[in-house]
Amino acid sequence: MKKFYVSVLALCSQYVFSQGFVKDSLKENSIDAVVMTGLSKKTFVKDNPLPIKRITAKMMEKTNETNIIDALVQNTPGLVAVKTGPNVSKPFIRGLGYNRVLTLYDGHRQEGQQWGDEHGIEVDSYNIAQAEVIKGPSSLMYGSDAIAGIISFFPYIPVTPNTESLKATSEYQTNNGMVGAGFRWAANKNNWIIATSTSLRFAKNYRNSVDGRVYNTGFNEKNFSLLLGYQKGNNYSHFNITYYDNEQGIPDGSRNPETRQFTKQIHEAEEDVMENRPIVSDKELNSYSLSPLHQNIRHLRIYTNNHYETSIGDFYANVGYQRNNRIEYNHPTQTSQAGMFVRLNTLNYSFRFIPNNTGNFEFSFGANGMLQNNKNKDATDFPIPNYNLTDTGVFAYAKWSKNRWNVSGGVRYDHRNLRWDDFYVATDPATGFDRQVSAGTPDANHQFSAYQKKFNGVSASLGASYKLASQLYIKANIGRAYRAPNITEMASNGLDPGAHIIYLGNKNFDPEFSFQQDLSLIASYRDFSGEINAFNNNMDNFIYLTMLLDKDGKPQTDAQGNRTYQYQQAKARLYGLEAYFALHPQALKGWTLSNSIALVYGFNKNPEFKDKGTNGEYLPLIAPLKWLGKLEKNFTLRKNNWKNITPMVEAEYNAAQNRYLGLNQTESYTPSYFLMNIGISSEWKVGNKSSLMCNLQVNNVFDRAYQSHLSRLKYFEPQETINTGYRGIYNMGRNFALKLVFSY
Give residue-wise pLDDT tens across range 529-547: 999 999 999 999 999 988 7
In sequence order, the 6+-apart residues with CB closer than 8 A to the CB of 136 are 50, 51, 94, 148, 149, 477, 479, 516, 518, 535
**Closest-CA residue to 235 (of 318, 153, 316):** 316
What is the phi/psi pair of residue 40, to 5°? -135, 175
What is the amino acid identity at position 566? Q
Chain segment 400-410, per-residue pLDDT in tens: 999 999 999 99
Using 50, 70 and 90 to split pLDDT, how confident is the model at 31? Answer: low
CB atoms inside a 10 Å sphere around CB 181: 16
What average pLDDT score do residues 701-708 get? 97
Question: Cα separation of 321 and 317, whole Å?
Answer: 14
CA distance 194 to 225: 11
Q: Please measure the distance between the N-terminal and C-terminal CA atoms of the chain and give it in whole angstroms.
A: 33
Q: Does 7 map to a domain? A: no
689: how many CB neighbours lie within 10 A of its CB? 10
Instruction: Kindly state the average pLDDT of the residues 58-82.
Output: 93
pLDDT, residue 73, reads 95
Lowest mean pLDDT, pick from 9-18, 290-299, 460-469 = 9-18
How confident is the model at residue 40, as a pLDDT? Answer: 65
Mean predicted confidence (pLDDT) in 60-71: 92
Q: Report yes or no on 1 lying in a domain.
A: no
What is the reported pLDDT for 115?
81
Q: Residue 540 in contact with residue 574, Cβ under 8 Å?
A: no
User: Does residue 152 form part of some domain?
Assistant: yes
Instruction: Name the strands in the sheet holding 434-437, side by side, starting at the edge strand that comes first in the sequence.
Output: 434-437, 423-427, 445-448
CB 667 within 8 A of CB 565: no
| 5-14 pLDDT per residue, tens | 333 223 233 3
How many CB atoms are located within 10 Å of the residue 389 CB?
20
Phi-psi region of 130 (alpha: psi -120 to 50; beta: other; left: phi over 0): beta
pLDDT score of 675 more than 50? yes
Task: Tell whether the model's pLDDT for residue 493 goes beyond 90.
Answer: no
Closest CA to 734 of 245, 207, 196, 230: 207
The greatest distance separating any two alpha carbons of the chain, rounded to the nearest whole angstrom, comes to 83
Q: How far is CA 166 from the centre of its chain?
A: 27
pLDDT of the residue at 255: 93
154 pLDDT more than 60: yes
Note whether residue 654 is domain-resident: yes
Closest CA to 255 of 732, 718, 726: 718
Mean pLDDT within 648-670: 95
- The phi and psi torsions of 655 (rounded to 5 degrees) equal -70, 165
Distance CA 59, CA 130 (A): 9
* Per-residue pLDDT tens digits for 294-340: 999 999 999 999 999 999 999 999 999 999 999 999 999 999 999 99
**Segment 549-561, tens digit of pLDDT:** 887 777 787 766 7
Cα torsion 618, 495, 710, 544 to 10°: value is -30
pLDDT at 16 over 50: no
Closest alpha carbon to 446 in 434, 464, 455: 434
Please state which of the ranges 139-153, 476-490, 533-547, 651-665 shows the lowest mean pLDDT.
139-153
Look at residue 445 and give its three-state secondary structure: strand
**Mean pLDDT, range 116-141, rounded to an integer:** 88
pLDDT at residue 662 above 50? yes
Determine how many CB atoms are found less than 10 A away from the CB of residue 652: 18
Q: Which H or E element spans position 73? A: helix 68-73
Residue 32: predicted pLDDT: 62
Give how far Cα 360 sits from Cα of 174, 355, 402, Å. Answer: 56, 13, 6
Q: What is the mean pLDDT of the chain?
A: 90
Q: Which of these, 337, 60, 105, 376, lies nearest to 244 by C-alpha position?
A: 105
Question: Residue 120: its pLDDT value, please?
Answer: 87
Nearest to 111 by CA among 322, 326, 404, 294: 322
Give the Cα separation of 585 and 581 in Å (integer): 13
Whether residue 8 is contained in a domain is answered as no
Of the listed ranges 284-298, 349-363, 550-564, the one predicted with least confidence = 550-564
Instruction: Confirm if 481 and 138 have CB atoms less than 8 A apart.
Output: yes
The secondary structure of residue 337, as a DSSP letter, is: S
Please determine, for residue 27, whether its predicted confidence score (pLDDT) is greater than 60: no
Phi, psi of 664 (to 5 degrees): 60, 25
**CATH number, residue 491:** 2.40.170.20
* 304 membership: H or E segment, kind and range: strand 294-309
Q: What pLDDT score does 8 carry?
A: 28
For residue 704, what is the DSSP state? Answer: -
Distance CA 564, CA 718 (A): 12
- CA–CA separation, 444 and 421 (whole Å): 15
Count the domains in the chain. 1
- 90: Cβ contacts below 8 Å, ≥ 6 apart: 69, 81, 82, 83, 97, 98, 114, 117, 120
Query: Exposure pattern of 422-449 as b/e (b: 16+ CB <10 Å)?
Result: ebbbbeeeeeebbbbbeeeeeebeebbe
What number is the average pLDDT over the span 636-649?
88
| 23 DSSP 8-state letter | G
Which helix (H) or strand (E) element contains residue 71? helix 68-73
CA dist list (Å): 443 to 86, 435, 438, 604, 669: 43, 12, 11, 42, 45
Is 6 part of any domain?
A: no
Q: What's residue 642's pLDDT?
A: 86
Per-residue pLDDT at 244: 97
160-211 pLDDT per residue, tens: 899 999 999 999 999 999 999 999 999 999 999 999 999 999 999 999 999 9
Q: Which residues pair with 163 in a beta bridge?
A: 188
Q: How far is residue 119's CA from residue 117's CA, in Å, rounded to a whole number?
A: 6
Question: Do 44 and 37 form a contact (C-beta atoms < 8 A)?
Answer: no
253-265 residue pLDDT tens: 999 999 999 999 9
Q: Cα-flanking dihedrals φ and ψ of residue 279, to 5°?
A: -75, 140
Pick from 214-218, 274-278, 555-559 the range whose average pLDDT is largest: 214-218
The structure's pTM equals 0.91
Domain with 70, as residue range(s), is 14-743
What beta strand segments (E) does 585-689 contain? 591-604, 626-633, 635-639, 642-654, 673-686
Other Cβ atoms closer than 10 A to 712: 23
Residues 6+ apart with CB under 8 A from 589: none
Instruction: Give the DSSP H or E segment for 743.
Output: strand 735-743
Q: Are 381 and 497 in contact (CB under 8 A)?
A: yes
Query: CB under 8 Å to 645, separation ≥6 — which residues?
Result: 634, 635, 637, 680, 681, 682
Task: State the Cα–Cα distance between residues 320 and 634, nearest whole angstrom.
Answer: 43
Which pLDDT band holds residue 637 (cuts at 50, 70, 90)? confident
How many other CB atoms sit within 10 Å of the CB of residue 6? 11
Would you say 187 and 195 are in contact if contact means Cβ atoms under 8 Å apart?
A: yes
Beta bridge partners, 355, equal: 313
Residue 541 forms part of a structural domain: yes
* Residue ranges in 365-522 assigned as alpha helix (H): 487-491
User: Strands, E, within 340-404: which ranges?
Assistant: 340-355, 361-376, 387-402
> Could you say which DSSP state residue 560 is in?
T
For residue 457, being part of any structural domain is answered with yes
Task: State residue 600's pLDDT score.
Answer: 98
C-alpha to C-alpha distance for 241 and 737, rounded to whole angstroms: 31
